[in-house]
Amino acid sequence: MSVTRSAPARLDVPLDVPRGLAGVVVTDTELGDVRGGEGFYHYRQYSAVDLARGRGFEDVWYLLVHGELPDGARSTAFGRRTAGLRRLPDEVRGALPAIAAAAGPSGPLAGMRTALSLLGAARGFRPVYDIDADRRRADALAAAAAVPTLLTALYRLGRGLEPVEPREDLPYAANYLYMLTGEEPEPERARAVEQYLISTVDHGFNASTFTARVIASTGADLAACLVGAVGALSGPLHGGAPSRALDTLDAIGAPDRIDPWIRARVLAGERIMGFGHAVYRTEDPRSRLLREIARRFGGPRVEFAVEVERRVEAILAELKPGRELHTNVEFYAGVVMELCGLPREMFTPTFAAARVVGWSANILEQAEDPKIIRPLARYVGPAAPVRVPDAR
């Protein structure tokens, strides 16, 4: 005999929590903030866009880890320290061919999940709950410094190429391009990629950052936290859009096709990749910066992207009046990375090569809080019976 009744309301469960925790504050942070209504975001007390325009990647990394921008001597020392952590342990290097083969079409980002776990074991990472702040920081630097080496090696192995060993005399971005291509990059390209990396290091409590912090709150080791973050980033609704934004440009193809292509998608209610953001109600400041970088290169591809942006906004204003929809970071990120010679399958991994620094800083901050993150879910299924019905 079954028992049916309506699910009782639990007095300890809030009734007005929005879907996806949108707008819910879950903790305090000193790492930065995103002010979507203003079109502004910052790392610590500094504008992220200003940092991308005027500083190098290592300086921003230092800022997130140590809480202040370094002077010249500290910047040099930090650069040398992190560059010295780029080489992989022998156990990890030896396993990469098998990992790359197993990852197959899923690519370097999928392979990196396994490789990061192995790196943590090879480096002797221990639960953040059991170690002091200095050891946590050392583990964070070691993991973040190794990520570009892992990603580029997995990419090259997946294409039958030998990995390129890192160089300690090159900055983070230039070394990343060098390991990817085997050639020292032109300074203009290295700087463009560096500015992209800086602009995407951190961005509030996005899905991957929140995932990293939830895992860190359990006291797990740093590699475990990063593996979870990479898993979240791999989803197409989070980190998988830069190449899809370029696919939009390819699908349109020519200037005379822009209007009919866009109108058809808007009227069909389809999403236009590279436009719109969950937080910003104004122009995405990262998009503005990357548009500037793209225009430094110039050329037909950039001109076409700018015209597509202009027409999308105009058509939306006509067909959806009152709806603000601007380019997001993915739109011009794809253009910039393509101009710098990055293959499309490395767009999201390159995003991960930046965001790993922000994840690490968030993990370090979360590790200082002994409280585990343990929210509730509101049960809305069939009412539970008072007792299990007798099966006889």
State the first-to-last Cα distance of the chain, in angstroms, to the nearest integer.
Answer: 10
* φ and ψ at residue 47, rounded to 5 degrees: -60, 125
Catalytic residue among 277, 309, 326, 338: 277
Q: What DSSP designation does 387 have?
A: S
Compute the chain's Rg from CA coordinates. Answer: 23
| Contact residues for 133 (Cβ-Cβ < 8 A; gap 6+) | 364, 367, 368
Whole-angstrom distance, CA of residue 165 vs CA of residue 153: 9
Whole-angstrom distance, CA of residue 171 vs CA of residue 169: 7
| Contact residues for 41 (Cβ-Cβ < 8 A; gap 6+) | 32, 33, 34, 35, 47, 48, 203, 204, 285, 286
Three-state DSSP class for residue 345: helix
Whole-angstrom distance, CA of residue 120 vs CA of residue 138: 12
Closest CA to 189 of 50, 274, 294, 285: 294
Q: Are 358 and 209 in contact (CB under 8 A)?
A: yes
Is 203 an active-site residue? no
Amino acid (1-letter code) at residue 259: D
Catalytic residue among 58, 194, 309, 330: 330
Q: Are 163 and 179 in contact (CB under 8 A)?
A: yes
Is 313 an active-site residue? no
Whole-angstrom distance, CA of residue 13 vs CA of residue 257: 52
Known catalytic residues? 277, 330
